[in-house]
Amino acid sequence: MNNIYDILNSSVGKLKENGSYRVFNKINRIADRFPKAIHADSKKEITIWCSNDYLGMGQNKLVRHAMIDAINNFGVGSGGSRNIGGSNSLHFELEQEMADFHKKDAGLIFPTGFSSNDVTLSCLAKLLKNVYFYLMK
């Protein structure tokens, strides 16, 4: 195995052999019927219990209409990270609402839980001496 194609193909093969190769389910959520969805291949109705949308806010009519209003007013997409493309005023409003709710001076929103953990751990590693992180398998 000398070329990159063979190396990558072998690696994918090992993932498939040991059962850790990911195959994503094709599902379409049903608006106003949380946690119901349709499995796109079988067309069967299913229930999604493993969602980050555990409160069903992604299906809430008020939230959906607020998103439509925001899209109509501001368009879609950020154009880049907040550092590069700036932040919409709605981001600042949400951060202040969160801070007020939690009785804090300020709030900071992240696009994902992963990115918030990434930033938190990176900052801790820089600020604290002799901090080690171990990958749990």
Backbone angles phi, psi at 133, to 5 degrees: -115, 135
Given a cut of 80, whether residue 4 has pLDDT beyond it is yes
64 and 96 inside one domain: no
Total of domains in the chain? 2
52: tokens are: 């980050």
Q: Name the nearest CA neighbour of 68 among 97, 31, 18.
A: 31
Q: Which pLDDT value is given to residue 107?
A: 94
Question: What is the structure's pLDDT at 39?
Answer: 95
Judge if 1 and 59 occupy the same domain.
yes
Residue 56 parent element (H or E) = none
Q: What is the pLDDT of residues 111-135, one digit of tens each?
A: 888 888 898 888 888 888 888 888 7
* Closest CA relative to residue 137, chosen from 50, 20, 21: 20
Is 136 among the domain residues? no
Residue 1, pLDDT score: 60
Cβ atoms within 10 Å, residue 121? 12
Domain enclosing residue 115, as ranges: 88-129
Coarse DSSP helix, strand, coil percentages of the chain, rounded to the nearest 5 percent: 45, 5, 50
Cβ atoms 65, 95 nearer than 8 A: no
Radius of gyration (C-alpha) of the chain in whole angstroms: 21
Q: What are the tens digits of pLDDT across the range 84-112? A: 888 889 999 999 999 999 999 999 998 88
Q: Do you know the residue count of the chain?
A: 137
Q: Indicate whether 121 and 96 sit together in one domain.
A: yes
pLDDT at 62: 92
Q: What is the pTM of this model?
A: 0.62
pLDDT interval class at 34 (50, 70, 90): confident
d(CA 55, CA 97) in angstroms, rounded, equals: 19
- Same domain membership, residue 4 and residue 27: yes
- pLDDT interval class at 44 (50, 70, 90): very high
